[in-house]
C-alpha cells in the first residue's frame, strides 16, 4: 500500500495496529467511529486497545489520510474517503449520506484575510426514506 510508505516517509513507525487500522479504513471508505473500528478489528487483533485506535486516528487525521467529521453530536466520525464532498444528516433516522457537489473542490483560498485550507459543509434535514414514511402517515 502506497499510504503505508507515505506514513513511514513522514517519520512514523509502521506498527501492527497502524497497518491494521489503515488497511481497514482503505478497504471501507466511509464514516467510522473509533469504537466501530475497534469492534471491526477485535476478532483479528484481540488485544488491540481502544486507546491505540484513538491515537492512530488522530495521527492519520493530522497527516491527512482521513478527515474528522463533527456532524453528529458529541462523537467524532472519521471519514476515510478524502475526496472533497459534503455530508447530509437525517434528523429522523440519524443516517449520514455523502453529498457530491462540484463546487466543493474549488472553495475560496482566502476570506477576509484568513487563509482557507479546508471546508466542511453539513446539510441537515429529512432523508428520502423518512420523507416517504412521513408522507404515508399523513395520507390516510
Among 24, 28, 54, 63, binds DNA (CB under 7 A): 54
The CA-atom distances, in angstroms, between 43 and each of 37, 40, 56, 58, 88 are: 11, 7, 18, 23, 32
The CA-atom distances, in angstroms, between 62 and each of 7, 78, 84, 101, 137 are: 11, 12, 17, 25, 46
C-alpha torsion angle, residues 7, 10, 14, 19 (rounded to 10): -20
Closest to DNA by CB, 9 vs 117, is 9
Closest to a second copy by CB, 21 vs 71, is 71
Find how far residue 6's CA is from the centre of its chain.
20
52 binds, among DNA, a second copy, none (CB under 5 to 8 A by kind): DNA
Stretch that binds DNA, among 50-58, 86-94, 97-105, 112-120 (CB under 7 A): 50-58
For the segment 76-95, give every residue that binds DNA (CB under 7 A). Answer: 76
Residue 8 binds to DNA (criterion: CB under 7 A): yes
Phi then psi dihedrals of residue 98, to 5 deg = -70, 140
Q: Quote the least distance from Cβ 52 to DNA, whole Å.
A: 3
Q: Quote the least distance from Cβ 80 to a second copy, whole Å.
A: 18
Q: Quote the least distance from Cβ 16 to a second copy, whole Å.
A: 27
Residues touching DNA, count (CB under 7 A): 26
CA gap 125, 11 in Å, rounded: 43
Kindly report the number of other CB atoms within 10 A of residue 77's CB atom.
Answer: 19
Among 1, 16, 92, 119, binds DNA (CB under 7 A): 16
Residue 35 binds to DNA (criterion: CB under 7 A): yes
Amino acid at each position: 500500500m502506497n499510504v503505508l510508505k507515505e506514513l513511514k516517509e513522514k517519520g512514523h513507525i509502521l506498527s501492527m495496529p497502524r497497518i491494521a487500522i489503515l488497511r481497514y479504513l482503505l478497504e471501507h471508505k466511509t464514516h467510522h467511529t473509533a469504537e466501530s473500528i475497534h469492534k471491526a478489528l477485535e476478532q483479528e487483533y484481540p488485544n488491540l486497545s481502544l486507546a491505540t485506535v484513538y491515537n492512530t486516528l488522530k495521527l492519520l487525521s493530522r497527516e491527512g489520510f482521513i478527515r474528522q467529521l463533527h456532524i453528529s453530536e458529541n462523537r467524532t466520525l472519521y471519514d476515510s474517503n478524502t475526496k472533497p464532498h459534503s455530508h447530509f444528516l437525517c434528523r429522523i433516522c440519524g443516517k449520514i449520506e455523502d453529498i457530491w457537489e462540484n463546487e466543493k473542490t474549488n472553495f475560496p483560498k482566502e476570506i477576509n484575510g484568513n487563509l482557507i485550507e479546508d471546508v466542511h459543509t453539513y446539510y441537515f434535514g429529512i432523508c428520502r426514506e423518512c420523507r416517504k414514511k412521513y408522507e404515508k402517515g399523513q395520507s390516510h
